[in-house]
Structure 1
Amino acid sequence: MKKYIYKIFMIIVVTVGLVSCADLELPSDGRLTLEDIFSEYNTSRNYFNQCSNYIPQVGFTYGNTPLASFSDEAHDASDGVSGVVNDWYNNSTSSSNNPLTANLNVWAHYFTGVRKCNTFLESINDPAIATASIDEDEKNGWIGEVLVLRAYYYLQLVKRYGGVPIITAPYEVTYDFSQDTRATFEECVDFIISDCDAALAIPESGKSTVGFRWNISDNERSHVTRAFAYAVKSQAALYAASPLWSTGGSKYTWVKATEITKEALDACLAQGFQLFDITPAADVAQNAYAYYFINRADPSRSVDKETIFETTAARTNVWKWAGTPITEGMEKAGAGPSQELVDAYGMKATGEMPVLGYSDANHLQPIINSESGYDPANPYEGRDPRFYASIYYNNSPRSLTSGNVEKDLFPLSFLPSVVNNVSMTENGEEVTLATTGGDPWIHTSTLTRPLSPGENRVISFEYKSNKTITDSEFFFCVAGGPQGGVETGQNILIEQASEWTRFEYDLTMAINTWGFGVNANGGAQPQDHFLRFDITGGPDYEITIRNFRIESFTPPPAATPVETFVGGNCEISDRVSETRNTRTGYYLRKFNNYKSGSNVDADGLMKIFRLGELYLNFAEAAYQSAGPDAVVGTMSARDAVNTIRERVGMPALPAGLSKEDFEVRYRNERQVEMAFEEHRFFDVRRWKILDQTDGFVTGMKIVKDNNGYTYTRIKLEDRNTNSDKYLLYPINQSEVSKMESFTGNTWQNPGW
């Protein structure tokens, strides 16, 4: 029976393009049984790896805009053209047309992932099917990861739809669908947490490469860890205790949520997680917070110790989909931050909120906090550092150098066949070079195209090394051998480094001296040139390198600010048929590396889970259950929020705030800290304040005159997407009709 079940299952998943038959080396007629798959190590591991295929690539995935555009965080400039944004803003959502699922059928996607996990778990635990010889620690690690993946997929479903059917095994061919029922939200959270607990109960193997572990290597980017399991538990418990789902008899009280979120936070802190606090150079990012969101996470946590899981491939492409008109390659202004979000950023000197609310229904008359130091005539001065890291405002610098930087990259790889006294080992994107004797050197691949024009060219890479290298050299070569290199007698220093360190060597002197890459002799074309890396003069040196390349820079023009005033280079616009200008008077900066453009995409990737969320989850549960200042274990809710604020240099929240006042400050802090990270959309729903937040957003129209600037708040069109029915997604009508025919009951969410 199981053989035929799997044949049917494979037909379903292959039809929707979620699994490649070639990956599993299926016979040409597609007949592969579960016994076939789980009788071999490689096919078993391949099936395990496919269970993580349903973790989404989070980012600008809703019609090339982020989820923030469908909340009070932002207003997308595509509001006047046909598409998902226009449908949402014009209240054209229905059970047959949900703009938020236009690019991804959420219900089908995650339930397919659940079925994949169920099939794996049932098969790997059945000795009649799983006959492959697999290390027990490795197999248990697979089981742990798949349990957590299933829990994560259920978390994504219940956040959007509420209670859903709990499915723990593959459907039999004769399965009676009339037996299916929607579980309650609480029952689903029970299931989510039990899966995570079952995974965490699996002992760590003590091995560095297998098992359900805390620590993984950078080439295991798609794998989930024990920290991921704790993050799923924390978020599930927080949601279950929230007003949308908490009932009088619910087991998920704020006390229970405090216990679970504190356990998650403590476990991660004990394993060395910490908020990212590396201060960048002034021409890299404004502060540690800005730097964090343009850096790609390293799962080994050698540099980034905050990220628990990052979307694995999809860069945010802010430069393209939410770019400023002066950004090369931008296609639309996209998600313009709302005035409501701007008002949420506090004042650096006092730590106070500048705007306490609005005295009118249209949010055009702000209630100014006189104790904050906020000046409505200079609204962007002295704000929370996260404001400058997240938002382009009028006259904000587009670049952190003297203008936009044009960069062209020439990635190079090492050739193990052309070496002298060097051994080479590859591990994913990393290459380890170990010297075995005197005069060690190795060649790279060729450029494949001429070096682009530019006054500044550098060799760059990230590395770790066991010793300080004092006399390395680079030579630019053609087929006949070195044709240039460093200035005669100059040796290059590469410091010993136990963690990833960026190395740069300026080629300007070498180019001027030797003309290499431009006029190099030897008869070869420029694109045929390559580098020879002379490591040092002796054995027993070891250096691990990634992202080895030449970077060519075009000097930037004079600094150009972002001018959002009427008539400015990035002016606000109400021309609804055009999408290149902001509707709100602001542009998105978070995740955006100012060096990004059509030649180089250096924008950040969105975090799915990070330590900052765990601090805030604990703070919310703790102030609700014990009050703002009560110490739970080792910290209070206020301590947790202040830890987040300390990272960016914001003053601590004062002691003695009432629960009600602390709630205002906490929700403001969560809105600011996790802006554009797909939290606000769900937060206002679980708090049941959607009717207060999402009817419309406002912006700032700025007019320049001889006396400076005049600031006028403007209200954008009503969205009418803040009624109670919008608390949950509608289930697709085709699915509802199908299940009604099976069960005789409607499964549709209220209002749809």
Structure 2
Amino acid sequence: MKTFIRSILAFAVLILSGCGKDPLDIMPDGRLTLEEVFNDEMMAGEYLNSVYDNLNHYGTAYDYWTMLAGYSDEAHDNDFPQDMGRAPSRWYNGELRPNWNPMDIYASVGANSTEANGHYYRKSWAGIRQTNIFLANIGKTVFANPQMKSRLIAEAKTLRAFFYLELIKMYGGMPVVDQAFTDTYKFEELRRQSFWECVDFISKNCEEAIAEPYFPYRITAEPERGRFTKAVAHSVRSQATLFGASPLWNTGGDQTRWQTAAEASRLSLEQLSDAGFALHPDYEAYFYSRSDLNANPSDKETIYEIKPYRSYEFSHLMFRMHAIPTLGGDKAGCSPSQELVDAYDMKNGEPAILGYADEDHMRPIINAASGYSEANPYVNRDPRFYATVWYNNAYYGEVNGKPYYIQSYLGGADGISNLMQRTRNGYYLRKFRNPKQLDPNSGTALFKKYRLGEIYLNYAEAANEAFGPTQEVYNAVNTVRARVEMPGLKPGLSKDEMRERIRRERQVELAFEEHRIWDVRRWKILDKTDKLTTGIEWTKNGNSFSGKRMIAGRRKSWTDNHLIIPIPLSELILMPLWEQNPGW
């Protein structure tokens, strides 16, 4: 960490050309001093812009253009077992080590690419370091419009809070650093602080940003797409306080942490609502579109989505890398797991599957009150199921003027196979892609990092743990369900029953949005969820089908040491006061 924390970002041709100056009129060594940068308001703004380079692209920018869902129980990545060199296969094989993390493998675009995910530890610290430098120097910068200066300071605080959240939810408590490092700083004396101390720091930064009147709630112009806003500060605080109150990081069961998390999300819902945020009316269409940027957008739910990058933007990669083989694309990618399918309620609001009677999930415990049928498991399910999962014999739409039905039965055109281009569990991913899109370059979807639906569920979970299943808890969950015309939860649930329903609701509402992998860790249920994933093998018999459950793949990444990612060994060597995370 010494090397990259001490390094100073070089600003040369790019910054100067952005300021309208001659790009050749630079210092002899091609660099600018920090004093020169912060003596110019445009260059100071460019410095903050450069901090965004440390954000990962999330979505489908993991090796090999896969999704984080495949690292959790909500999906099976079909690179496994055909390509054991790919990151998901190495994750399943239990190859995470203190000196190597499969998540850090770049997505096939080169070791120095900024267009792929990886190296969360290094990128997060770089982002923290740069925001500290910005905040330490921006005070002396003279702006023609002082409101812009106030906005940039709030934006920097939100960025710092964001990078801390991404860092600690993977690696645990880190040193709280709010000042720029000097050349004489003694890094060997740096100590780790608790997770909750980091949460306090994150909350403080977010609250200061939220209080800034010149920090906007929305981006309203295309050139500013991708900038953080006041709404992002609300999202970061909501998620951070929820994580800090959860069993993994709240080992003593401190109820005040749940109360703090509930209040943070309650205030965010109230203030975001006042600012015009609301759930999008069409769950399916919402995910295959991008937000419209204006003061009164039709998309009022999105808080932050990842801006396009080069030609390989999110919709293009979703088309090619998570595809039905007969409808284009390079590979099947992440297939929704049977475990995810089983989590969807029936349309009458009753859970279909209550659990499993065996460790291999071959014997589902069927809720008799639900109306679920093993012979017809895809009938009368939660509408979010149909918006997320392609299943055997599902009607896709017209292709080349003819109706097309998914053929994921044995021997079908889309059938189970050991090829990377075929599903291994009988399912394909539907979410994020318009069925009418038949060309990889015609999609518009962007990956939504934060949205209002999450904050409703954050509040419901925290408030239930703090106060029990109050009417406010019911209202929050039922608001999310009402969007897709699902019945509200039945009254009279106990606190434990409500906890189970909220967890199920998060699983289906936030599927493939990079929540499940962290949720099962903060709840400390990884050993119950991630040992394997299953599917259904369908056989065609004339005009009918018969199916049997099957194991898609077993995994070795479910033991307690996998609850927290190990700190990179190269960094630990430089920090003699630090202890490695448990089990590593």
TM-score after normalising by structure 1 = 0.71
**Counterpart of 1:682 in 2: which secondary structure?**
helix
Is 2:6–2:183's contact at 8 Å kept on the other side of the alignment? no
What is the aligned partner in structure 2 of residue 726 from structure 1? Answer: 562
Is the CA contact 1:309–1:609 (under 8 Å) kept in the aligned structure 2? yes
Q: 1:307 aligns with which of 298, 302, 321?
A: 302
Q: Could you tell which deviates more after superposition, 71-80 or 246-255?
A: 246-255
Partner of 1:67: 68
The answer for the alignment partner of 1:570 in structure 2 is 414
Structure 2 CA distance for aligned equivalents of residues 396 and 707 of structure 1: 14
Q: Is the 8 A contact 1:318 1:588 kept in 2?
A: no
SS in 1 for 2:307: strand
Q: Does 1:261 align with 2:265?
A: yes
Q: 1:294 aligns with which of 284, 288, 299?
A: 288
The corresponding residue for 1:460 is none
Alignment gaps of 5+ in structure 1: 205-210, 278-287, 404-555
- Provide Cα deviations, 1:101-126, integer angstroms capped at 9, x if missing partner: 2221111101111111111110012x
Q: Distance in 1 between matches of 2:396 and 2:506?
A: 26
For the pair 1:748 / 2:549, whether they are aligned, the reply is no
**More deviation, 93-102/688-697:** 93-102
Q: Which residue identity is paired with 2:572?
A: V
Aligned partner of 1:89: which letter? Y
The residue type equivalent to 1:312 in the other structure is K
Task: Name the residue aligned to 1:342.
Answer: 341
The answer to whether the 8 A contact 1:246-1:252 is kept is no
Q: Does 1:122 align with 2:136?
A: yes
Following superposition of structure 1 onto structure 2, how do residues 652-671 of structure 1 map, counting pairs within 5 Å? 652-671=488-507
- Count of residue pairs brought into register by the alignment: 555
- Decide which of 435, 443, 464 is 1:594's aligned counterpart: 435
Determine the C-alpha separation between the residues in 2 that align with 1:154 and 1:92. 26
When the two chains are superposed, the root-mean-square deviation of aligned CA atoms in Å is 2.1
Distance in 1 of aligned mates of 2:340 and 2:569: 34
State how far apart, in whole Å, the 1-side matches of 2:551 and 2:338 are.
9
Kindly indicate whether the alpha-carbon contact (under 8 Å) linking 2:15 and 2:43 is maintained by their aligned counterparts in 1: no
Match of 2:244 among 216, 240, 244: 240
Instruction: Quote the offset at 1:28 in angstroms.
Output: 4.9
Name the SS for the 2:306 alignment partner. Answer: strand
More helix per residue: 1 or 2?
Answer: 2
Residue type of the alignment partner of 1:234: S
Which of 153, 156, 161 is residue 151 of structure 1 equivalent to?
A: 161
CA 1:711–1:249 in structure 2 vs 1: closer, same or farther (change >3 Å)? Answer: closer
Task: Give the residue type in structure 1 aligned to 2:195.
Answer: F
Query: What corresponds to 1:444 in structure 2?
Result: none
2:373 counterpart SS class: coil
Q: Retained in 1: the 8 A contact 2:320–2:440?
A: no
1:398 lines up with 2:396 in the alignment: yes
8 Å contact from structure 1 (residues 72, 341) kept in 2: yes
Q: What are the superposed Cα offsets for residues 190-240 of structure 1, whole Å, 9 maximum, x if unpaired? A: 1100111122232x2xxxxxx311233132212211111111111111111
Residue of structure 2 in register with 1:647 after alignment? 483
- 2:354 match: secondary structure: strand
Deviation digits for residues 362-406 of structure 1 (CA, Å, limit 9, x no counterpart): 10001111110111111111111111110110011223xx22xxx
* Structure-2 residue corresponding to 1:544: none
Partners of 1:596 and 1:603 within 8 A in 2? no
1:249 is displaced (CA, Å) by: 7.7
Instruction: Provide closer, same or farther for how the CA distance between residues 22 and 176 of structure 1 changes in structure 2, counting only shifts above 3 A.
Output: farther
Q: After superposition, what is the alpha-carbon deviation per residue over 1:466-509, rounded to whole angstroms, capped at 9, x for unaligned?
A: xxxxxxxxxxxxxxxxxxxxxxxxxxxxxxxxxxxxxxxxxxxx
Corresponding residue for residue 111 of structure 2: none
Identity of aligned residues (%): 41
Q: Which residue of 1 aligns with 2:41?
A: 41
1:344-493 alignment, distance < 5 Å = 344-348=343-347, 350-399=348-397, 402-403=398-399
Query: Is the contact between residue 247 and residue 253 of structure 2 (CA under 8 Å) also seen in structure 1?
Result: no
- Asked if structure 2 preserves the Cα contact closer than 8 Å seen for 1:6 and 1:34, the reply is no
Q: Alpha-carbon deviation of 1:241?
A: 0.6
Question: What is the TM-score when the length of structure 2 is the normalising length?
Answer: 0.91
Deviations for 1:55-104, whole angstroms, at most 9, x for unmatched residues?
32121122111110000000011012121111111112212221112221
What residue is the counterpart of 2:234 in the other structure?
230
SS at 1:668 equivalent: helix
Q: Structure 2: which 5+ runs fail to align?
A: 107-117
Gap change, CA 1:370 and 1:6, over 3 Å in 2: closer
CA distance in 1: counterparts of 2:564 and 2:340, whole angstroms: 23
1:583 is matched with which residue? 424
Separation in 1 of the partners of 2:559 and 2:251? 21
The DSSP-based 3-state class of the residue aligned with 1:371 is coil
- Counterpart of 2:326 in structure 1 is 326
Q: Which has the higher strand share?
A: 1
Deviation at 1:720, TM superposition (A): 1.4
State the secondary structure of the residue aligned to 1:43.
helix
Q: Which residue of 2 aligns with 1:166?
A: 176
Q: Highest CA radius of gyration, 1 or 2?
A: 1
